[in-house]
Amino acid sequence: MSQPSLLTIDRLHVGVRHRRAERTLVRDVSLSIGAAESVGLVGESGSGKSMSIKAAMRLLPHTATTGGRIQFEDRDVLKLNRRDLARYRSRDVALIHQDPRAHINPTRTIAQFLTEGPVHTGQMSPGEAIERACGLMRDVGIADAERRLAQFPHQLSGGLLQRVMIVAALLPSPRLIFADEPTTALDVTVQSDVMAILLEQIRDRHVSMLFVTHDLDLASAVTDRLAVMYAGSIVETAASAELCARPLHPYTAGLLRSRPSTTRVHRLTAIPGRPLAAYEARQGCPFVPRCPFAIDRCSVELPERRTIEGHSVACHRVEEIADRLQERVP
Ligand SMILES: Nc1ncnc2c1ncn2[C@@H]1O[C@H](COP(=O)(O)OP(=O)(O)O)[C@@H](O)[C@H]1O
Ligand SMILES: [Mg+2]
């Protein structure tokens, strides 16, 4: 990677207590994001994407345990004291959720929602916060900013509300934005508008982004690098274009085969079976029950990540199967 890392996640482990036993939700996740870099975290539902983001923002439930290391610039995020943590969350990083309506107080106006954070942390006066919010609202294509500021969330459409969320994320000028499926809950007609606005803003402002999605095509179009997550672990990482052009993990190849192509007409091949959560995985590689290439070794021995052709990939059989993974039906 060319840039020095802004956020480094090293061997992150997240577990929760469940009936006196511990359930692993995120296993051995390592990921780094450079300054002004966009990284995609892709995987099916339940693979641990949101949990990884919550860990990186220290927003996990009290029942959760974390292991490993999360470093933001020179700070150890998992060890920040209350004051430094509040500062980290309010100024260094920001989070855009999947469903804006679930994360906004319906009884407060848009102006109150946008300004209370930066004013409370002493970053801006109320006047400065309103002025900056107005400017950002115009930047994200909200025409009548003053009128919108006086409105309540229910008076705004989902797409407009997600633009307000982008404004809220940008307001304190963070270095890194975690975008957790930011367009998944929106109508398809506004999804691409909101995505384009988010991208334009982070590029113009040189903000880094960790973009979380189940949509590999979308992720590859909007990020520099991709990490593919399965059952709480990252199974493959590579530059976005390379990952899609030549996937080296059977799961990545399966995700690519199961999505419609805009340039070719072909039958979609679903990955058989269902995705697993980390705690459901047995010994060996968690993808074994769905993998057309699994051999006995895969069921007993967890594959280590190795660097092959510039990808980091966790599969025992990469060298043998790499060329076959490009075929439509393995
Ligand atoms: N608060 C929680 N307590 C226990 N398990 C949880 C909690 N939140 C999520 N999980 C479980 O953790 C796993 C990963 O969830 P999540 O990170 O939300 O997945 P993703 O964002 O990739 O869809 C899932 O199996 C989910 O059921
Ligand atoms: Mg999620």
Average pLDDT per 10 consecutive residues for the chain, totaling 330 residues: 82 92 94 97 94 96 94 96 94 94 94 94 94 96 95 95 96 97 90 94 97 93 96 97 95 87 62 86 92 96 95 96 78
Query: Is residue 185 within 6 Å of ligand 1 at its C-beta?
Result: no
Contact 243, 311 (CB under 8 A): yes
**pLDDT of 188:** 87
For the Cβ of 250 lying below 6 angstroms from any atom of ligand 1, the answer is: no
pTM score: 0.94
Q: Is 48's C-beta closer than 6 angstroms to any atom of ligand 1? A: yes
Query: What is the distance in A from the centroid of ligand 1 to the CA of 48?
Result: 6
Nearest CA owner, ligand 1 atom 5: 16
**CA of 96 relative to ligand 2 center, distance in Å:** 12
**Strands of the chain, DSSP E:** 5-18, 21-34, 38-42, 64-72, 75-76, 93-96, 176-180, 208-213, 225-230, 233-239, 306-308, 311-313
The two tokens of residue 78 are: 């998992």
With a 6 A CB cut-off, is 275 part of the ligand 1 pocket? no
What's the confidence (pLDDT) of residue 260? Answer: 67
Rounded to an integer, what distance in angstroms lies between the CA atom of residue 136 and that of residue 148?
A: 13
The CA distance from 175 to 172, in Å, is: 9
What's at 260, amino acid-wise? P
* Ligand 1 binding pocket includes 42 (Cβ within 6 Å): no
β-pairing, 208-213 vs 225-230, is unpaired
Residue 46 Cα, ligand 2 centroid: separation in angstroms?
Answer: 7
**How many Å lie between the centroid of ligand 1 and the Cα of residue 84?**
27
Q: Which of 12, 24, 50 to mutate to test the pocket of ligand 1 (most atoms within 8 A of CB)?
A: 50
Please name which of 220, 226, 229, 217 lies closest in space to residue 287, comparing C-alpha atoms.
Answer: 229
Structure token digits, residue 85? 């943590």
pLDDT at 171: 96
Contact 69, 14 (CB under 8 A): no
| Predicted local distance difference test score (pLDDT) of residue 240 | 97
* Rounded-to-integer distance, Cα 29 and Cα 70, Å: 10
Structure tokens at 254: 């399966």
Does the beta carbon of 61 lie inside 6 Å of ligand 1?
yes
15 lines ligand 1 (CB under 6 A): no
242 within 8 A of 307, measured Cβ to Cβ? no
Amino acid letter, residue 59? L
Our answer on whether the CB atom of 220 is closer than 6 Å to any ligand 1 atom is no
For residue 268 the two structure tokens come to 């979609």
Q: If you measure from the C-alpha of residue 51 to the centroid of ligand 1, how many angstroms do you get, rounded to a whole number? A: 6
All residues at 6 or more sequence positions from 320 whose CB lies less than 8 Å from its CB, including other chains: none
- Which CATH fold topology does 1-102+203-330 show? Rossmann fold (3.40.50)
Give the per-residue pLDDT at 326: 81
Atom of ligand 1 nearest to the CA of 53: 17
CB of 213 closer than 6 angstroms to any ligand 1 atom: no
Question: Which pLDDT score is estimated for 273?
Answer: 85
